[in-house]
Structure 1
Amino acid sequence: MILIGAHMPIGGGFKRVPKETYEIGGNAFQIFPHNARQWKANTPKAEDVLEFKRRVKKYTLNEESMLCHSGYLINIASPRDEIWKKSLELLKTEMKICSELGIKYLNIHPGSHLGTGEEGGIKRIVQALNEIFEEENNVIILLENVTKKGGNIGYTIEQLDKIISLSKYPERLGITFDTCHGFDAGYDITNLKELDKLLKNIDSLIGLKKLKFIHLNDSKYGLGSNKDRHENIGKGEIGIEGFTRFLNHPIIKKIPWILETPGSNHAHAEDIKLVKKLINDLEDHKK
């Protein structure tokens, strides 16, 4: 059985997420641990945590199907000391929130070196992660692949591997692969030969066991565009045929899929319905 869900709203509390995940046809989800556009983050109240966990159990979700996504302001690759320190402290708070909610994984963008160079940016990322892991030991951080723009670090698998390899705590790190970001960065996931090549590269450098989630997004722009503009499934440049090949790969089917496509819960329900159809149609064709 595939695990699939979407990035879910948390306005009004975390407790709404499990039920709304079920209502859109999902059995996995991603949330922000706080308002993603603010530096301020509060840990949840005890009664809210208890109700959230009760509903997680009711809707048969588990730690391998739940993911938090870090806030937009965090940049642990920043050469600016004030931003780096604020990012570090906010990331620590996010990990505490994840731990209290019983969410095992926190997804982050590695960060941007802001034009000061990849080597220094990676050094700052590793320094931040090492400090965080010395304080918090319940949460695994997943590094998400990004597009090559604005000094971003993590647009190649090799860059993600370098961060993990340099960390004092490689066992506390994994990765998330975003289909839009990967496609925009030049990984042609619509081509089975190229997809196999990508997965072999991940396995040889990082290990497939560290590939914990896939962000399932179509792309408004073409292969190698480095634009990072998400589109609903089948309506972008990856397209229906591309996703049919990607989604039915035996390795890809084992990894939880999280939609970050445009629109509300209703739009996500439609995307989930389409994704399931793409899998079932191919399986029916093989019979």
Structure 2
Amino acid sequence: MFKIGAHMSTSKGFHKVPLDTLAIDGNTFQIFCHSPRTWKVKEPMEEDIIKFKENMKKNNISFEDVLVHSGYLINLATPNYENWEKSINLMIEEIKITSKLGIRYFNVHPGSHLGEGDEFGYDRIAKALDIILNEVKDLNVDILLENVAKKGGNIGWKIEQLGEIIKRSNFPERLGITFDTCHGFDSNYNIKDKNDVKRLLDEIEKYIGLNKFKMIHLNDSKFPLGAGKDRHEFIGEGEIGIRGFETFLSFNEIAKLPMHLETPGDDLEHAEDIKVVKSILGI
């Protein structure tokens, strides 16, 4: 079954998310587990968690298809020790909430080395992940590293970089990846071209293993190939376009994975994007 949804608001409670997902014709979703712009974590109410799990089961949404996205302040590569420690502690708390919700996967951008260089960043991120995963070792939550746009000191714009982080961690079995189509396009992965999609899959297999390729962020790009701008656009209305997504989604290794829209707008716009994706696939 094709799995698609969008990043959903939790402002009315976690329990509303499965129902709101069905209303936009989705069958999976992504959420934040607290306000993403603060270091302070607000714990969900136990009643909300119970209703969330009930609504997931009633509406046949798999806990393994949905995704919790980390807060925006987390930077596991930062040379600033105070912020590095705060990032680690915040991520531990977010993963604990993810576990309470029964969700299997937690998504994070690897971070920016802020000018210290890739080697510094690889070690910094791997060490942070080891501290985090050791702290949550008894929880059934795996961490997915998301590819990012090629700009500034960002680490993870190449698949090889994500593989290097995983290789340096003491918990490789707890790590996987999410591929963001806009970020990839920003970083010269031309998913409009079949040969480049094959190159992408070959790189994932070589540096990480396709078995660790778990999720997709499905976003068009406002800017051309290699721009490094990270500006998402509605599906089919950006530089990737309908033809590009037809090519990308023609690969079974990709079409079988859960896909989460992070396109502009809210539920109404996401419902339209889901219609477009389904029309591309003939669903």
**Structure 1 stretch 225-234 or stretch 37-46: which is displaced more?**
37-46
Please say if 1:94 is aligned against 2:94: yes
Q: Kindly provide the CA deviation profile for residues 130-173 of structure 1, in whole angstroms up to 9, marking residues without a partner as x.
A: 01111103210000000111200000001000000110000000
Q: Is the 8 A contact 2:66 2:258 kept in 1?
A: no
1:227 aligns with 2:240: no
Q: Which residue does the alignment assign to 2:17?
A: 17
- For the Cα contact (< 8 Å) 2:8–2:31, is it kept in 1? yes
- Give the letter for the 2:98 counterpart: C
Q: CA contact under 8 A between 1:43 and 1:96: conserved in structure 2? A: no
Counterpart residue number, 1:277: 279
Runs of 5+ consecutive residues of structure 2 not aligned to the other structure:
none
Counterpart mapping for 1:77-88 below 5 A: 77-88=77-88
**Number of equivalenced pairs:** 281
The alpha carbon displacement at 1:65 in A equals 1.3
8 Å contact kept, 2:147–2:180: yes
Aligned residues of 1:176 and 1:213 also touching (Cα < 8 A): yes
Deviates further, 129-138 or 166-175: 129-138
Aligned to 2:242: 240
Q: Is the 8 A contact 2:146 2:179 kept in 1?
A: yes
| 1:35 equivalent in structure 2 | 35
Partner of residue 263 from structure 2, selected from 244, 261, 264: 261
2:56/2:63 contact within 8 Å kept: no
Matching of residues 137-216 of structure 1 within 5 Å:
137=137, 138-216=140-218
Contact 1:37 1:71 in 2 (8 A): yes
TM-score normalised by the chain length of structure 1: 0.96
- Alignment of 1:75 onto 2:75: yes
Residue in 1 aligned with 2:115?
115
Contact 1:43 1:93 in 2 (8 A): no
- Structure 1 residue 63, shift from structure 2 partner: 2.1
Alignment deviations for residues 167-203 of structure 1 (CA, whole Å, 9 cap, x no partner) = 0000000000000000010000110111011101101
Paired residues of 2:14 and 2:52 also in contact (CA < 8 A): yes
Paired amino acid for 1:125: I
Where has structure 1 moved over 6 Å in runs of 4 or more?
none
1:199 touches 1:208 (CA, 8 Å); kept in 2? yes
1:142 maps to a residue whose letter is L
Deviation at 1:12, TM superposition (A): 2.1
Q: Provide the C-alpha distance between the structure 1 equivalents of 2:199 and 2:76, rounded to a whole number of angstroms.
A: 30
Identity of aligned residues (%): 56
Q: Give, as a single letter, the amino acid of the residue that structure 2 aligns with 1:150.
A: G
Partner of 1:104: 104
Match of 1:133 in 2: 133
Mapped contact 2:179–2:216 kept (Cα < 8 A): yes
Answer yes or no: is the 8 Å Cα contact 1:3–1:255 preserved in 2. Answer: yes
CA drift at 1:248: 2.1
Distance 2:152 2:105 in 1: 26
Q: RMSD over aligned Cα, in angstroms? A: 0.9
Unaligned runs of 5+ residues in structure 1 are 282-287
User: 1:285 aligns to what?
Assistant: none
| 8 A Cα contact 2:217 2:259, kept in partner | yes
Q: Structure 2 CA distance, aligned partners of 1:188 and 1:64?
A: 28
Q: 2:3 aligns to what?
A: 3
